[in-house]
Structure 1
Amino acid sequence: MGGGTPMPKKGGTKSSRAGHKPKKGGTKSSSAGHKPEDHHKMGVVHHRGSGKRFRREVTSRPRLCTYLSTLSARYSWRNQTIGHADECSALMQFKQSFTTSKSASLDPFAYPKVASWMQERTRRNCCSWDGVECNEETGYVICLNLNSSCLYGSLNSSSSLFQLVHLQKLDLSDNHFNFSKIPSRLGHNLTGLTLLNLSQSSFSGQIPSEILYLSKLSTLDLSATSFLDMTFDYDHFSSSKILELTNANLRSIVQNLTNIQQLHLNKVHILSTLPDIFANATSLKALYLQSCGLSGEFPVGIFQLPNLEVLDLMYNEDLTGYFPEFNKSSPFKKLNVARTNFSGHVPASIGDLSSLRVLEPRIM
């Protein structure tokens, strides 16, 4: 023991390979002058057995994925659309003009999108905010989608919303605007709108005629809040909580909004006949008029509109009419005249409507 060469410990250090012959094939990994760990970086795998090769390939992939993810994140950050400071400020003012309450929205999955809006240094670019979309080239806000966002408060003509003059789509549906009136300024400042959805948001009063200035609209949804019973009595319901549309403005919708494809006016207080001019609305694809208090005879020409897929007249008990013969080319998918005063027979030609999925007749 004394002065002799000390015996190495069992399984001595991995780095002390002097004096040992490498196993067959063991020199291949170093023949090119690379360290063993370099092979992970280069994606080159030299193996002694199939099991080891499999383990090395699996462990090398996350490094590559991490690199690509980082590269992608850096690239998207550099190319992210930057919003205009004045529009971002207008959005913040809009947010601050409301409170948020879960009870303000009917959708059980509603959440306050504006809660994530901030103007801190790292998050002041409004083009990245929830519900906001900007034009990639100009940076202007072109879409504001705050449906089911738990907003509560009044919307008035002084709102900073009307500074977003480049808006093309505006969806404020399923919020509670405290039975305020739809601001007439909407028709003056947001003339580029192609979609306007204010449905189920507790607006009241007359729908302003300025809405007719939105000549680019293809979708207009002003349906009243659905917690009102479908058969509610207009005469006994508080007029301060009813959204109304005059017959003259209803007629002008067809005359002025020549691009309209989707028109939703469920539970809007109309209380008149439906103008015959609706039979000229050739661009219409969907017409929703549930529980509007319509009366008189329904214009039969509407059934012949070439693009109409959905017609819903339910709960207009003073509305009379009948089904005409249908063309095979008619694109109808849904016909609902339940709880109306339609009469006559259902024509056999309705069986030729290959796209029809929902039929709710009310034939006396």
Structure 2
Amino acid sequence: MASYLFLCLFRFFPHLYASFSSSASHSCSSLAQFKNSFSINQTKFAALYCDHIAGLKSYPKTNSWKEGTDCCSWDGVTCDHLNAHVIALDLSCCWLHDNFPSNTTLFLLPHLQKLNLAYNDFNLSKIPSEFGRFTSLFYLNLSHTGFAGQVPSQVSHLSKLVSLDISSSIYDYEKFTIDKHALEGLVHNLSEVRHLFLDGMDMSSVNAHVFMNLSSSLRSLSLAYCDLQGKFPKNIFDLPNLNLLNLGSNPILSLDPLKLNRSSNLEHLDLSSMSFSTEFIDSVDNLQALKYLDLSGHFFSQRLSVSKTKSGYLFTGDANFFGGLPGSMGNLVSLKFLDLSYSNLSGTVPRSLGNLLQLTHLDLSGNQFSGQIPSSILNLTQLEYLKISENSLEGSIPDE
């Protein structure tokens, strides 16, 4: 029916057809030239991240980009069929390799609303300031692309962004950097942002209070490995829609004691390798929606008490608790993944671990546990992974 209406419009308004055809031709030409700017090469970088870490299949999407064919049918390309404008481009994991030209014809596609270039290798190119031209963008993903250097302030002008990902990892070649004013502009201008991923960006010159005024619409905030310093603003924990918060591996970033809100929607909380007090941890049990909790890399000078929660995952590897594992750990009855490896724990393994009937992964290795392995471990019928090596435990895993 839609195709019939298009034919009718073009028959009675031929100038519309001419405009439609011209727009499509221009977009296809721009995309073809963009493709020709790069070599297509499956690097180890793409294979590692896409196929093994991100769980995405990497393949050369641009092989389907044949000149003389309709680019709206090309792999990774989405068009607005009313006017043939290219509005979305997903070129993630498609083996693009080489320097990213600042005058690329990609910037001749002003109607783009969604752009994903993740998991390619742009050979330590700078992020061109021309990305600021995409004023209609609501989704931008430049993560793990081999870009390097300063994040241009023009990115903060993309005020319609709902999702921004410029993250990298410790395995990437070089960190992005961002100055205080550019980051302030980003926080201030992205008033609609719901998902903000800036992992691996060098923010050593920035004070964490800059994030105080983030949008109340925020659902995901990930700032791992950013070298953040100062005190992280408390109000972020009160954002009504926040589901994911990752502040891991910011060793000089601190958190003031606060009472976490029972009405919080937080499901994923990563505070690994950070500095905060035991009082903060003891209020984690208020996070009733929590499914994933990573507290690894800490040194607590007091015992950790654990109350019953709906947590699904708890990581405390390398946490260095003083003394034994509290029996109250058995109250976390919704846990699916429990990692207490290399946490300087001693004493006996509490029988209450047998209450964690949902566990599929249990790692108690690298501690100083002694005594017998409790028979209650046989209650863990869902268990797929068990590691208890590098302890002083006696006997073997009990038989049924």
For the residues of structure 1 that align with 2:100 and 2:39, how far apart are their CA atoms? 12
Q: Is the 8 A contact 2:129 2:152 kept in 1?
A: yes
Instruction: Indicate the residue corresponding to 2:67 in structure 1.
Output: 119
Amino acid at match of 1:196: L
Q: Structure 1 segments of 4 or more deviating over 4 A? A: none
For the residues of structure 2 that align with 1:130 and 1:298, how far apart are their CA atoms? 42
Task: After superposition, give the CA deviation of every residue in 1:14-36 in whole Å (9 maximum; x if it has no partner).
Answer: xxxxxxxxxxxxxxxxxxxxxxx
Instruction: Indicate the residue corresponding to 1:338 in structure 2.
Output: 272
Counterparts in 2 of 1:158 and 1:276: CA distance versus 1, 3 Å:
closer
Instruction: Indicate the residue corresponding to 2:209 in structure 1.
Output: 275
Larger Cα Rg: Structure 1 or Structure 2?
A: 1
Q: Does 1:247 align with 2:180?
A: yes
Instruction: Indicate the residue corresponding to 2:236 in structure 1.
Output: 302
What is the CA-CA distance between 1:277 and the residue it aligns to? 4.5
TM-score (norm 1): 0.71
Kindly report which structure 2 residues correspond to 1:211-226, keeping only aligned pairs within 5 A, or say none.
211-225=155-169
Unaligned runs of 5+ in 2: 9-19, 52-56, 301-400
TM-score (norm 2): 0.65
For the residues of structure 2 that align with 1:282 and 1:128, how far apart are their CA atoms? 38
Task: After superposition, give the CA deviation of every residue in 1:41-75 in whole Å (9 maximum; x if it has no partner).
Answer: xxxxxxxxxxxxxxxxxxxxxxxxxxxxxxx9x99
**Percent of aligned positions with the same letter in both sequences?**
36
What is the CA-CA distance between 1:226 and the residue it aligns to? 5.2
Instruction: Indicate the residue corresponding to 2:332 in structure 1.
Output: none
Q: Does 1:110 align with 2:58?
A: yes
Instruction: Indicate the residue corresponding to 1:329 in structure 2.
Output: 263
Task: After superposition, give the CA deviation of every residue in 1:172-197 in whole Å (9 maximum; x if it has no partner).
Answer: 0000001101100110x211000000
Kindly report which structure 2 residues correspond to 1:101-180, keeping only aligned pairs within 5 A, or say none.
101-103=41-43, 104-105=45-46, 106-108=49-51, 109-120=57-68, 124-180=69-125
For the residues of structure 1 that align with 2:214 and 2:26, how far apart are their CA atoms? 42
The partner residue of 2:136 within 174, 183, 192 is: 192
Q: Does 1:256 align with 2:201?
A: no
What is the CA-CA distance between 1:243 and the residue it aligns to? 1.1
Instruction: Choose 149-158 or 273-282, whichever is displaced more.
Output: 273-282
Task: After superposition, give the CA deviation of every residue in 1:226-265 in whole Å (9 maximum; x if it has no partner).
Answer: 524xxxxxxxxx8xx3311112222221111111111101
Instruction: Indicate the residue corresponding to 1:207 in structure 2.
Output: 151
Amino acid at match of 1:221: D
For the residues of structure 1 that align with 2:259 and 2:217, how far apart are their CA atoms? 21
Counterparts in 2 of 1:270 and 1:347: CA distance versus 1, 3 Å:
closer
- Structure 1 residue matching 2:101: 3-state secondary structure: coil
Q: RMSD value over aligned CA atoms?
A: 2.4
Amino acid at match of 1:116: S
What is the CA-CA distance between 1:327 and the residue it aligns to? 2.1
For the residues of structure 1 that align with 2:148 and 2:111, how far apart are their CA atoms? 26
Unaligned runs of 5+ in 1: 1-71, 229-237
For the residues of structure 1 that align with 2:272 and 2:278, how far apart are their CA atoms? 14
- Structure 1 residue matching 2:208: 3-state secondary structure: coil
Q: Does 1:265 align with 2:198?
A: yes
Instruction: Indicate the residue corresponding to 1:90 in structure 2.
Output: 30
For the residues of structure 1 that align with 2:177 and 2:277, how far apart are their CA atoms? 28
Amino acid at match of 1:114: T
Q: Is the 8 A contact 2:159 2:189 kept in 1?
A: yes
Amino acid at match of 1:217: L
Kindly report which structure 2 residues correspond to 1:337-356, keeping only aligned pairs within 5 A, or say none.
337-346=271-280, 349-356=283-290
Kindly report which structure 2 residues correspond to 1:54-69, keeping only aligned pairs within 5 A, or say none.
none
Q: Is the 8 A contact 2:209 2:230 kept in 1?
A: no
Kindly tell me the number of residue pairs found equivalent between the two proteins: 275
For the residues of structure 2 that align with 1:151 and 1:289, how far apart are their CA atoms? 27
What is the CA-CA distance between 1:199 and the residue it aligns to? 0.1
Counterparts in 2 of 1:205 and 1:280: CA distance versus 1, 3 Å:
closer
Task: After superposition, give the CA deviation of every residue in 1:172-225 in whole Å (9 maximum; x if it has no partner).
Answer: 0000001101100110x2110000000000111110000111000010000125
Q: Is the 8 A contact 1:155 1:180 kept in 2?
A: yes
- Structure 2 residue matching 1:250: 3-state secondary structure: helix
Instruction: Indicate the residue corresponding to 1:99 in structure 2.
Output: 39
Instruction: Indicate the residue corresponding to 1:319 in structure 2.
Output: 253
What is the CA-CA distance between 1:292 and the residue it aligns to? 0.5
Counterparts in 2 of 1:268 and 1:141: CA distance versus 1, 3 Å:
same
Amino acid at match of 2:38: F
Amino acid at match of 2:81: E
- Structure 2 residue matching 1:254: 3-state secondary structure: helix
Counterparts in 2 of 1:116 and 1:280: CA distance versus 1, 3 Å:
closer
Amino acid at match of 2:193: I
